[in-house]
A = this chain, B = another copy of it.
Amino acid sequence: MHVEATPEKPRPNLAAVAALAGVSPSTASLAFSGSGPVSAATRTRVLDAAAQLDYAGPDPRAQSLRRGRSGIIGVVIEDRLRDAFRDPMNIAMLDGIADETGSLGAGLLLLTENGEGAASIRNAPVDAVVLIGCSTSFAAQVAIFRQRGIALVAIEAEPMDDVLAIDLDNRQASHTLARHLASLGHRCVAMVTLPLDAARTRGPLTEEAIEAATGYTARERIRGVREVFAGSSGVSATVSSIEEGLLAGLELLADRDTRPSAVIAQSDLLAVGVIRAAEQLGLAVPADLSIVGFDGVKLDGLAPYDLTTMVQPAVEKGRAAGRGVIALLSGEHPRAVSFTSRFHRGTTTAPPRVAS
């Protein structure tokens, strides 16, 4: 006997299964979803028919149309996936989100800030969206999702109506770091900041640049530092990474006349980059240059340094965001959450060398 494989193999649908089982589509649906009274015999018949037709279960696309839910949660990250994932903070948050939403059976759809096509933020089939920190084009994104009627959770973002905020004490924490340096005797500190705006340019931290900054996290942290070191300046980075910190550090430290005695980097990755820059320039850390970071990433291989930094609860932030999503989707009105960071004194800060 020779088997003739039909090139066309139309996937069976619930109606076909129902027909084969000799029941109505509605009953077949009940049998699958289990959300209604169906006799055991009937259910068995339906399931057998399904097996016979090689039916894989209700089509999720049709389900999501009918139910008005797709079971998918969008996570908006930076433009370049690789950049976003290079920072352990983002991964930790993603992990926290997945932790909580996983119980709900929802999947995470990665969305980029300016993607086009079927899965852009304009038309991804998501039930809710988490905007992961440091977004520089926040307002525009919020407008889109609000129009689409999609629940929104934002990590570290400007407070906004209809957006559940998961916040961090960025200003206060930066203030703490700055005070630490001040108390050590530093008077001339410089910053290496996270991206200031959607353009993500590396460059000197001019007053105009700060004024025009749309990056909430960067701005808050600058503010915290300036509460202690009024008018302090620095360099803005294009992304949170070690390489970028190195470049920014070189820019900052190149000129020995304007060289600061301490650098406040807005992430641990950037801080490590600055340390590398210092090493390249022959500066000893912390003797010649004090450096602080932000995040509290355990950076394997940073030895012999132990970075002075603010440790923030990244996974917890993600969890809170995940719980927020769940609450919003069940029609509740969760309240904004705010996390605090903890000061960690490492070995990368010391009193400034006395001017020679």
List the B side residues contacting A231 at CB < 8 Å: none
A228 within 8 A of B: no
Complex partner residue of A61 from B64, B91, B95, B107, CB under 8 angstroms: B64
A1 within 8 A of B: no
Residues of chain A in range 236-264 having any CB-CB distance to chain B below 8 Å: 242
List the B side residues contacting A324 at CB < 8 Å: none
A92–B98 contact, CB under 8 A?
no
Nearest-CB distance from A79 to chain B (Å)?
10
B98–A91 contact, CB under 8 A?
no
Given contacts A85-B91, A102-B115, A106-B119, whether A125 and B301 have CB atoms under 8 Å apart is no
A125–B91 contact, CB under 8 A?
no
Residues of chain A in range 127-166 having any CB-CB distance to chain B below 8 Å: 144, 147-149
Q: Which residue of B lies closest to A147 (CB)?
A: B56
Complex partner residue of A118 from B72, B301, B303, CB under 8 angstroms: B72
Residues of chain A in range 89-122 having any CB-CB distance to chain B below 8 Å: 91-92, 94-95, 98, 102, 104-112, 115-120, 122
Q: Mark A46-82, 1 if CB is under 8 A from B, else 0.
A: 0000000010111111111100111110000000111
A41 within 8 A of B: no
Nearest-CB distance from A341 to chain B (Å)?
20
B242–A118 contact, CB under 8 A?
no
A302 within 8 A of B: yes
**Copies of this chain:** 2
Complex partner residue of A85 from B63, B94, B106, CB under 8 angstroms: B94
Q: Which residue of B lies closest to A74 (CB)?
A: B107
A82–B95 contact, CB under 8 A?
yes
B71–A98 contact, CB under 8 A?
no
Complex partner residue of A107 from B105, B109, B300, CB under 8 angstroms: B109
A183 within 8 A of B: no
A182 within 8 A of B: no
A124–B107 contact, CB under 8 A?
yes
Q: Which residue of B lies closest to A59 (CB)?
A: B65
A125–B60 contact, CB under 8 A?
yes
A125–B70 contact, CB under 8 A?
yes
The winner among A112, A148, A272 for most chain B CB atoms within 10 A is A148
B98–A107 contact, CB under 8 A?
no
Q: For the complex, what is the distance from the CA of A242 to the CA of B300, rounded to whole Å?
A: 9
Q: Which 9 A-B pairs have the closest CB atoms?
A: A105-B117, A301-B301, A71-B118, A107-B119, A60-B125, A82-B95, A56-B148, A56-B147, A85-B91
